[in-house]
Each structure stands twice: as C-alpha cells, then as structure tokens.
C-alpha cells in the first residue's frame, strides 16, 4: 500500500518482520526431523508404562465425568470405549511442527502450548459427551474433537443421502401413478371405441 494511505502506514505501535528467504535443502532435514519426533512420541505413547499414558488420560476423563454425574459405575462403561491413540496423532503433529518450524523460541513455545490446550479441550469434550450419555441414557460414545467434527460431516452426508433416496422414491411413485393413470385412460378410450363400433 502506498505511503499516502493512513491505513497502510499504521499507528506506529507494531512492526511486521518478514523473514529472509531460506532455500530448502535437498535432503529435507526438517521433514525427517518431524517424522523422527512423531515416531519417538509414538514409542513413548506405547512403551511408557509407569504410568501408562492412555490410562492416565482415561482416568482424567473419568474423574471429570464422575465429578459432574456422580455415577462412577456408568461412567466406567463409557471410559472403556475411549481411544487416546487418536488424540496422540494430533499431539504428535503439533509437537513435531513446533520443533522443526522456522520460528523464534517464543513462537515455538506458543505453538507447543497448543498441544496442552488440545488435550484439555479433548478431555473436556469427551467428559461432557459421557455426561450427556449418562443423563439422557442415549447411546452417546465419547469422541475427540476431530472425531466429533468428522462425525458431524458424516451425519450431514447421511442426511443428504437419505434426502436423495426419499426424493428418488417419491419420483418412482409419481411415475407409477402416471403409468397407471395413462393405462386407465387408454383402457377407457379403447372401451369407448368398442362401444361405438358395436352401436354402428
């Protein structure tokens, strides 16, 4: 924007710093580092048993849900359906990106903090879904944030499929009624022709 534009100049309290261009190496070391971090976190997730990370997460979800519902027996049935491995995929991605991205230390820490925020939001979302299931007695399974979004998209797709199927059935009925009406019209016309022929 031109310097004569007061909106382009700004208020002088902030500055935009554009980093210089850095060519990407041929062997993509950051990509391999990202994959290595994800693999390392996967080994920690599977192999760390004191305490087990999935059990710690399941216990945290259970504690929050029990604190809301006061029904530990029913909550245990829902907690048994949890699959924290899906949550690990998002956490591993966030941690890997925050470690290999070209950014300052402060920005890396800010990105790394999103992993903690994501775990907290997923824990709360799953505890609330368990609460809904316990309260309403509906078959509500605890899902993570990404699964809730995918499930909403799936339900929307199913709705469109059912709507299209309903429209197709109504069209078939309309065609059948039209064929029946046309057949009746032809029958009456033929009968009228035979009556005329007999009278003549």
Q: What is the pLDDT along the chain (200 residues), one digit of tens a residue?
A: 444 555 556 666 777 777 777 787 888 888 899 999 888 888 888 777 778 888 889 999 999 999 999 888 888 888 887 878 778 888 888 999 999 888 889 989 999 999 999 999 989 988 998 888 888 877 676 655 545 554 555 555 565 566 666 766 777 677 676 676 666 655 555 556 555 555 55
Is this structure's pTM higher than 0.75? no
CA atoms within 13 Å, Cβ hemisphere of 182? 6
Name, in order, each residue with C-beta under 8 angstroms of 117's C-beta and a sequence gap of 6 or more: none
Q: What is the DSSP letter of 185?
A: H
Cβ pair 84, 57 in contact under 8 A: yes
- The structural domains of the chain, with segments of one domain joined by +, span 27-142, 144-200
């Amino acid at each position: 924007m031109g310097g004569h534009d007061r909106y382009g100049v700004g208020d002088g309290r902030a500055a935009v710093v554009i980093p210089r261009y850095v060519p990407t190496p041929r062997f993509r070391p950051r990509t391999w580092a990202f994959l290595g971090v994800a693999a390392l976190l996967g080994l920690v997730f599977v192999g760390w048993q004191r305490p087990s990370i999935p059990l710690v997460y399941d216990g945290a979800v259970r504690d929050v849900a029990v604190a809301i519902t006061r029904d530990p027996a029913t909550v245990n049935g829902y907690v048994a359906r949890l699959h924290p491995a899906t949550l690990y995929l998002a956490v591993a991605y966030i941690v890997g990106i925050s470690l290999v991205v070209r950014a300052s230390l402060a920005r890396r820490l800010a990105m790394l903090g999103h992993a903690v925020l994501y775990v907290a939001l997923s824990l709360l979302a799953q505890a609330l879904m368990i609460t809904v299931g316990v309260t309403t007695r509906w078959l509500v399974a605890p899902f993570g944030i990404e699964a809730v979004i995918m499930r909403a998209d799936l339900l929307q797709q199913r709705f469109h499929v059912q709507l299209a199927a309903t429209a197709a059935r109504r069209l078939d009925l309309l065609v059948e009624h039209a064929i029946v009406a046309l057949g009746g019209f032809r029958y009456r016309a033929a009968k009228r022709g035979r009556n005329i022929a007999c009278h003549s």
